[in-house]
Amino acid sequence: MKKLTNLAAGLLLSCATYATSDQPFTQAVSVKYHVPAGLQLLKVITDYNDNVQVLTSQGFYRLSGNDLVRDLRFRPLAQKIPVDVTTRETSGHLYYLYADKCLTNGYAGVPYINLPLNKYNRVAVDATGRMLLSGNNALAIGNNGKLQELPLIGEGVQSMAANAGEFFILSAKAVYRFDGTKFVPLHAVNGATAMAFNDNDIILATTHGYYGINRRTGDTSLSLQVRVPVPDIRELLVVNGHIWAGTPEGAFMKTDSGTYRYFASRRWLDQDAVKSMAADSKGDVYILTATGLNKIAFIQQTLAQKAAYFERKIRERHIRYGFIANLQLNPPGDVGSAEMADTDNDGLWSSFYLGSQAFRYAVTHEPMAKRYAWEAFEAFERILSINQLTGFPSRTFERKGYKNSDPERWRDSPDPEWEWKGHTSSDEYVAYIWVAAVLHEMVAETPTEKQRVTAFIDKIMTHILDHQYTLVDIDNKPTLWARWGPEYINWYPTTIGDRRLGSTTIMAGLQLAYALTGKERYKTEAYKLINKYGYLKNIGIDYRTIKPTPGYLHMGIDMGMGDWNHSDDEMAFLTYWVLYNYAFTDELKQQYKGAIRNHWEVERPEKNALWNLITKATAGDQDTAATTWWLQTFPMDQITWTIKNSNRKDITLLPPNFRHQYTEVLLPLDELPTHRHNANAFTLDGGHGGESELAGDEFLLPYWMARYLKVLE
């Protein structure tokens, strides 16, 4: 293994030139607050202390920790129900409008005015303390306890605001500005729904986008913006120069680059229909719906801190006998109800976590990382020992009577307390060679540790060779997908990806087995596949030629039909690490480089950090910006909420294509359905209603690999 060690050292040295410093970045996260049942929520507002209050039809409420509670602090007001609340311009003091008075507790409680009963239902307060009051057929300004009635504006008040020392009103027909004695039309509108202020502009919302006008002249300063996530805008807010819009289908924010962040679905909001929005001094935005109070917070964290979050989350609730476990949530979204369940690919999913800990140990030499890697490997060792077959790896195992996935594929173990799942597939095999490679290379330090890894892969590869390049289950039949023999692999035309993939995975396994065991049988078989059956040529098939090729039936399945197989991409890239690093010769390495680069070029639009890093470590190509972007936008919330983006009007949809790349540019990952590396990153809609939670090891592996390769420091 000295050759591999030297290679790794050279690789790390070459990567160091391109290292990106792990600086804090802005991460959007969602906070959902506990709201008492039955409240009719009307308006959210923040004061100058960043206290968050909510006006309801049952009274005035405030946030206390994570709970919305009745505001009982001021005893004279505790049982009163405001009809409106606002904050005074510039000072941020709260003003309460009641049926018969308007007052504040700021300024020692001095500002106060008695009002005719039930005449006014809206209030805005300017920097001098003047109170603009409106109601049905009523408009007035209160100042120093006196009420000055104003001429009405015919069509009634839709909303009003104080800004930069002036009062403005939005009606169904116009924007009005107060001239000192009356409100005069500034700009005629047609269906405007809300207004907000951005420096010298007034931003106006409509049901088909938003636009801006000059606050002095009323002239259009920003054309109608229709290429927005949801044009039907009902609420507007400007926060630190960023326009926020509330819609019946979530909220969105315009970024500095001119794109939009879209916050919809239960990943972000308890429901999508936005009623009211407010911001605090940090730029976090509180979004009120009919049923809940939510916050979109913008935290500063490093990728290291993000990794620490997932490390803790996994150890807290995602480890099942060493495997990484999905969680079943009932009720949906409630992680307190989590139950760990077996899946169809426990080995594959767990290989990402084991790999992350192997790279973590290689970087940090933390004893706990080594412990976690070996604990995961114990599960891989047991998939061999729990069944009655020689060298056949079970998919997974569980205590008897508690199996979850595919009940027809479970078998009794010789141990009466346990069951094991058969029908093991090629993607599980990829997990075995991957974990054996990285564990042996980065974690196994003693002869005993190295022998554990060697014995594991030797048993599996011996079984495969003894059974004519297949995994043979307890029924004495090859499983559906674990087949690598020439009669199967070369039956595929070059336009079906299985020919290239199968050749790649078996060649990697044979090379690895030879490197670890020194058994000539593995090398001999590998060269037979190369020289007699053309497997090296298969590995070099151009991925750009893969296309639908119907008519190739395998056990009743037409292998040439359907879409691009992203699960095959996952298997291929994990295999590339093994294929390249354990190549028999430098000449083979050079040929493997070309094959890996060819695949990466096809996959590059997906910006997958793991594919980028594996390609960097083998073929030498990298996309550092995409890797960083992928790691930063990876969602903190791994619950499988139902997500919808196909309704958005700010994205460019591509014509139907074989790869199902639906959009011209990949959306941030935290706006997309939660998915693993084997899914199509361009899928716009998906999810399962919050019924499960993924672990986050899909983030940890590329993070620690980036650290190992010194792409990230």
Q: What is the mean pLDDT of residues 654-672?
A: 96
Are the C-beta atoms of residues 377 and 454 closer than 8 Å to each other? Answer: no
pLDDT at 11 over 90: no
In a domain, 276, yes or no: no
Tell me the CA end-to-end span of the chain in Å, nearest whole number. Answer: 27
* Full DSSP string of 500-512: HHHHHHHHHHHHH
In a domain, 243, yes or no: no
76 and 7 inside one domain? no
Pair type for strands 235-239 and 470-472: unpaired
Q: What is the mean pLDDT of residues 326-332?
A: 96
In a domain, 659, yes or no: yes
Are the C-beta atoms of residues 567 and 524 closer than 8 Å to each other? Answer: no
Are the C-beta atoms of residues 421 and 403 closer than 8 Å to each other? Answer: yes
Report the amino acid identity of residue 220: T
Q: What is the mean pLDDT of residues 627-653?
A: 97
**Domain ranges, residue 49:** 31-234
Cα of 328 vs its chain's centroid, Å: 18
In a domain, 95, yes or no: yes
The neighbour count for residue 610, using CB atoms within 10 Å, is 22
**Phi-psi region for residue 556, left (φ > 0), alpha (ψ -120 to 50) or beta?**
left
225 and 356 inside one domain? no
Higher pLDDT, 211 or 18: 211
15 and 73 inside one domain? no
The C-alpha angle 93, 94, 99, rounded to 5 degrees, equals: 145
Q: What's the pLDDT band for 19 if we cut at 50, 70, 90?
A: confident
Q: What's the pLDDT band for 163 if we cut at 50, 70, 90?
A: very high
14 and 104 inside one domain? no
Residues 6+ apart with CB under 8 A from 351: 430, 431, 432, 434, 435, 574
Are the C-beta atoms of residues 684 and 662 closer than 8 Å to each other? Answer: yes
494 and 519 inside one domain? yes
d(CA 437, CA 703): 18
Q: What's the pLDDT band for 18 if we cut at 50, 70, 90?
A: low
Q: Tell me, what CATH number does 618's domain have?
A: 1.50.10
* Full DSSP string of 565-581: -HHHHHHHHHHHHHHHH
In a domain, 248, yes or no: no
Rg for the chain, CA atoms, rounded: 31
38 and 20 inside one domain? no
pLDDT digits (tens, 9 = 90+) for 376-412: 999 999 999 999 999 999 999 999 999 999 999 999 9
Poorest-confidence range of 43-52, 116-125, 147-156, 371-380? 147-156
How does the average pLDDT of the chain come out, rounded? 96
Cα of 16 vs its chain's centroid, Å: 29
Domain count, the chain: 2
Residues 6+ apart with CB under 8 A from 531: none
7 and 49 inside one domain? no
58 and 11 inside one domain? no
pLDDT digits (tens, 9 = 90+) for 65-95: 999 999 999 999 999 999 999 999 999 999 9
* Full DSSP string of 334-346: -GGG-EEE--TTH
d(CA 556, CA 611): 32
CA distances from 279 to 20, 110, 252, 276, 378 (A): 33, 27, 14, 11, 50
Q: Of 234, 260, 283, which closes a domain?
A: 234
In a domain, 83, yes or no: yes
Are the C-beta atoms of residues 652 and 663 closer than 8 Å to each other? Answer: yes
pLDDT at 1 over 90: no
Strands (E), 555-638: 557-558
* Full DSSP string of 165-179: TEEEEE-SSEEEEE-
Which residue has 């069944």 as its token pair?
Answer: 387
538 and 656 inside one domain? yes
Burial of residue 146 (CB within 10 Å: 0-12, 13-18, 19+) is exposed
Are the C-beta atoms of residues 206 and 192 closer than 8 Å to each other? Answer: yes
39 and 16 inside one domain? no
pLDDT of residue 154: 86
In a domain, 222, yes or no: yes
402 and 508 inside one domain? yes
d(CA 570, CA 521): 28
CA distances from 432 to 467, 513, 672 (A): 18, 11, 30
- If we measure between CA atoms, which residue out of 500, 527, 503, 499 comes closest to residue 514? 527
pLDDT at 234 over 50: yes
SS3 683: coil
**Rounded to the nearest 10 degrees, what angle do helices 426-442 and 447-466 cross at?**
160
pLDDT of residue 345: 95
Which residue has 């989350």 as its token pair?
Answer: 313
pLDDT at 3 over 50: no
Q: Of 214, 234, 254, which closes a domain?
A: 234
573 and 533 inside one domain? yes
Q: Is the torsion defined by CA of 184, 185, 191, 193 positive or negative?
A: negative
Q: Tell me, what CATH number does 44's domain have?
A: 2.130.10.10
Report the amino acid identity of residue 494: T
**% of the chain surpassing 90 pLDDT:** 96
pLDDT of residue 9: 45
| Dihedral angle over CA of 347, 353, 355, 357, nearest 10 | -140
pLDDT digits (tens, 9 = 90+) for 47-72: 999 999 999 999 999 999 999 999 99
In a domain, 268, yes or no: no
d(CA 600, CA 615): 7
Q: Of 209, 234, 259, which closes a domain?
A: 234
